[in-house]
Amino acid sequence: MNLQHPYLMFLGDVQDQLAAKTCDGIVHWRPEWSLGQFRLPNCKADVKLDDMTLTEGLEKGAKTLLIGIVNQGGFLPEHWTASIVEALQRGYDVASGLHAKLGDIPEIAMAAEKYGRRLFDVRHPSATFEPGTGVKRAGKRCLAVGTDCSVGKMYTPLAMEKEMIARDMKVSFRATGQTGIFIAGTGVSVDAVVSDFISGAVEQICPANDPDHWDLIEGQGSLFHPSYAGVTLGLTHGAQPDALVLCHEPTRTHMRGLPNQKLPDLQTCLELNLAVARLTNVDAKFIGVAINTANLESNKAETYLAEVEQLLGLPTVDPVRTGVVRLVDNLLNI
Amino acid sequence: MNLQHPYLMFLGDVQDQLAAKTCDGIVHWRPEWSLGQFRLPNCKADVKLDDMTLTEGLEKGAKTLLIGIVNQGGFLPEHWTASIVEALQRGYDVASGLHAKLGDIPEIAMAAEKYGRRLFDVRHPSATFEPGTGVKRAGKRCLAVGTDCSVGKMYTPLAMEKEMIARDMKVSFRATGQTGIFIAGTGVSVDAVVSDFISGAVEQICPANDPDHWDLIEGQGSLFHPSYAGVTLGLTHGAQPDALVLCHEPTRTHMRGLPNQKLPDLQTCLELNLAVARLTNVDAKFIGVAINTANLESNKAETYLAEVEQLLGLPTVDPVRTGVVRLVDNLLNI
């Protein structure tokens, strides 16, 4: 899966900004790939790109029409089909992050075939995988792990990638979820891989590399999430991380989606992640902590970061509030 | 997935007994469901059942033709298709443990449709699953875990089931792999479930039950196997085990399939399994150890069992050599 950029963002006629959060993320991290937005009448979202028709997008060089919206159920509204078919006819590839597969809609499948364009359903792995081997490979890897889902395990490696590119280091962000795949242009939704191949799929997306090259691997789930811990463990074993970053959101009162499941304390979370990571990399170590303090006031955030830093003895940052310079500095010690 | 029994075992023309090991397991654990064997000319395997034609099997009450053989690649030999089509025509359901799907072979799919019979590909989950919830449910559950793959995580719960049935206890063996599914007549190959749904699939196969009912859940993989640990963790969280049995094969020199990966020591294996099991059941505890001592001489086996018993402070048995009475006795303490 290799998405061609730049992207024209298709927002359809979604009714609020939250539905466009995937596009917001892409625009934030890949402004240079985000050419414009194509909206249907009555669309209530705006990702702050120039509005373009399909024709205008093509003229400006767009390669892929990107359906980066979310809705309950992950379906493709029927009245969007005509726009997608037209895009294929005009010469776009089409990529979707919806659960529904583009190729399952006959008009879309036929148009892709007829006009020789590619369809990408980034939630659905298209490659076949082998079971993981656990065999050490060249290059260095850093994996984001966390206390819960949605606590910064994509944001943190992307912030680190930006800092490392600025320092002219050899670095690749490795995507394991749909938004990450749009941002990287490639990757695998590991939670959609058949269980037998989780670690193997991850080995495949961050293969052997130069000894001084860093893969920064997007994390998924949490070892402490009863729904998704299996994904997290397979991801960790496949990543063979030299470095781990612990991600956390301090105002979360329970595990995402599970009102009765408490979050682990940071020390317990760190210890279990380290123990399991060492199965495939005996030298794995934590290089820092990334806290999302968006829900804390400024002075409380500073106090909290200082407390965690003292508790765990690791550089503790908020990637938004303080940046990730100290995480990258500490990565250099490995 | 509910297989109708008794089974007529289809051995085709496999060239050695090892190819029939799935059938051997079914005959061992479900002799009352194993009506006969149907072999093609030049078959070199024999599962010690009466040879029968398809017609003779039907006359004696067979309901399902069971393709319980294994081969490299898991394909269905082309020259077996005619026998399968004939079975469907005569009124059998057909169940296969091969990787290749019965329904992907047009003649077989059409015959099933035409004659209104069912095809079961037990390696391929046919149900849809929800993510696991971790919410406690009624009834008691015992899960087999282990140091590696193929160390007794199916055999041990089946031996315990037999003992518990003899004691008139409420008990169900819950299958999570292909041979287990043939033996239980139902179940899910959890390693073939999409990663997001591992724990949810397991919650589904051992649902709420009577407070004094025991589910004995077949284990898979190992938390210490770099290829499959994700499966094991999701299985553990979905099982919410009250009781765990630790399975081990003492002559194994490396993890199955991975020559460079050592087995964990028993104490480490026990501790990590207990730590992760407690995420969804704070009262989880080990009730015993099951060692496969088949590769040890009798006196060495006895010494080894005694050593492990002293090391871990748990009843330690070999399900074949000593039986599992002491495991079931200890289960009663929960």
| Residues A75-102, mean pLDDT to the nearest whole number | 96
How confident is the model at residue B73, as a pLDDT? 85
Confidence band, pLDDT 50/70/90 cuts, at residue A215: very high
The verdict on B107 and B159 lying in the same domain is: no
The verdict on A195 and A93 lying in the same domain is: no
Residue of A nearest to B133 (CA): A227
CA distance A300 to A63: 45
CB contact under 8 A, B227 and A261: no
Q: Which residues of B touch A233 (CB under 8 A)?
A: 223, 229-230, 233
CB contact under 8 A, A192 and B194: yes
Residue B134 within a domain? no
Q: Which residues of B touch A279 (CB under 8 A)?
A: 224, 226, 229
**B 161-200 residues with CB < 8 A to A:** 190-196, 198-200
When scoring B128, B190, B195 by the number of chain A Cβ atoms within 10 A, the one with the most, hence best to mutate, is: B195
Nearest CA distance, B135 vs chain A (angstrom): 8
Q: Does residue B110 surpass a pLDDT of 90? A: yes
B231 touches chain A (CB under 8 A): yes
How confident is the model at residue B162, as a pLDDT? 98
Report chain B's mean pLDDT, rounded to a whole number.
97
Which residue in B133, B195, B272 is closest to A231 by CB distance?
Answer: B195
Our CA angle for A19, A23, A25, nearest 5°, is: 110
What does the block give as tokens for B46? 């024999």
| Residues B274-291, mean pLDDT to the nearest whole number | 98
Residue A1 within a domain? no
The verdict on A86 and A220 lying in the same domain is: no
The verdict on B35 and B75 lying in the same domain is: yes
**B 2-61 residues with CB < 8 A to A:** none
Could you tell me the residue range of the domain that residue B264 belongs to?
140-331
B280 touches chain A (CB under 8 A): yes
Which residue in A193, A195, A275 is closest to B272 by CB distance?
Answer: A275
Task: Kindly give the interhelix angle for B266-277 and A266-277, rounded to the nearest 10 degrees.
Answer: 140
How confident is the model at residue A277, as a pLDDT? 98
The verdict on B287 and B211 lying in the same domain is: yes
CA distance B11 to A213: 52
Residue A128 within a domain? no
Residues 6+ apart with CB under 8 A from A166: none
User: Each residue of B211-262: pLDDT tens digit?
Assistant: 999 999 999 999 999 999 999 999 999 999 999 999 999 999 999 999 989 9
- The enclosing domain of A181 has a CATH number of 3.40.50.300
A135 touches chain B (CB under 8 A): yes
pTM recorded for the entire structure: 0.95
Residue where one domain finishes, among candidates B58, B91, B121: B121
DSSP state of A290: E
Query: Looking at this predicted complex, what is its ipTM?
Result: 0.93
Residue where one domain finishes, among candidates B86, B121, B156: B121
Residue A134 within a domain? no
Radius of gyration of chain B (CA): 20
- The enclosing domain of A85 has a CATH number of 3.40.50.720
Which residue in B227, B232, B260 is closest to A131 by CB distance?
Answer: B227
| Residues B72-82, mean pLDDT to the nearest whole number | 93
The verdict on B189 and B302 lying in the same domain is: yes
Nearest CA distance, A203 vs chain B (angstrom): 10
Number of structural domains chain B divides into: 2
The verdict on B145 and B273 lying in the same domain is: yes
Percent of the residues in chain B that have a pLDDT greater than 90, as a whole number: 96
CB contact under 8 A, A194 and B196: no
The verdict on B183 and B309 lying in the same domain is: yes
CB contact under 8 A, A191 and B190: no
DSSP-derived 3-state class of residue B211: coil
CB contact under 8 A, B226 and A196: no
Residue A197 within a domain? yes
The verdict on A186 and A247 lying in the same domain is: yes
Residue B110 within a domain? yes
How confident is the model at residue A15, as a pLDDT? 94
Q: Does residue B126 surpass a pLDDT of 90? A: no
Residue B2 within a domain? no
Residues 6+ apart with CB under 8 A from B184: B172, B173, B174, B175
Q: Does residue A145 surpass a pLDDT of 90? A: yes
CA distance A220 to A213: 22
Residues 6+ apart with CB under 8 A from B40: B11, B12, B13, B79, B80, B83
Q: CA end-to-end span of chain B, whole Å?
A: 31
How confident is the model at residue A248, as a pLDDT? 98
Residue where one domain finishes, among candidates B121, B150, B175: B121
The verdict on A42 and A161 lying in the same domain is: no
Q: Does residue A188 surpass a pLDDT of 90? A: yes
Nearest CA distance, B201 vs chain A (angstrom): 10
DSSP-derived 3-state class of residue A158: helix
Which residue in B192, B195, B258 is closest to A230 by CB distance?
Answer: B195
CB contact under 8 A, B234 and A230: yes
Q: Which residues of B touch A260 (CB under 8 A)?
A: 134-135
CA dihedral B183, B184, B187, B191 (to 10 degrees): -30
A254 touches chain B (CB under 8 A): no
Residue B127 within a domain? no
Q: Does residue A250 surpass a pLDDT of 90? A: yes
How confident is the model at residue B72, as a pLDDT? 86
**A 78-107 residues with CB < 8 A to B:** none
Which residue in A131, A132, A194 is closest to B194 by CB distance?
Answer: A194
The verdict on A53 and A156 lying in the same domain is: no
The verdict on B179 and B283 lying in the same domain is: yes
| Residues B189-217, mean pLDDT to the nearest whole number | 97
> DSSP readout, A119-138?
EEETTS--S----------S
CB contact under 8 A, A230 and B198: yes
Residue of A nearest to B134 (CA): A226
| Residues A51-66, mean pLDDT to the nearest whole number | 98
Q: Does residue A271 surpass a pLDDT of 90? A: yes
CB contact under 8 A, A230 and B228: no
CB contact under 8 A, B195 and A199: no
Q: Which residues of B touch A193 (CB under 8 A)?
A: 194-195
| Residues B62-67, mean pLDDT to the nearest whole number | 98
Q: Does residue A126 surpass a pLDDT of 90? A: no
Q: Which residues of B touch A235 (CB under 8 A)?
A: 230
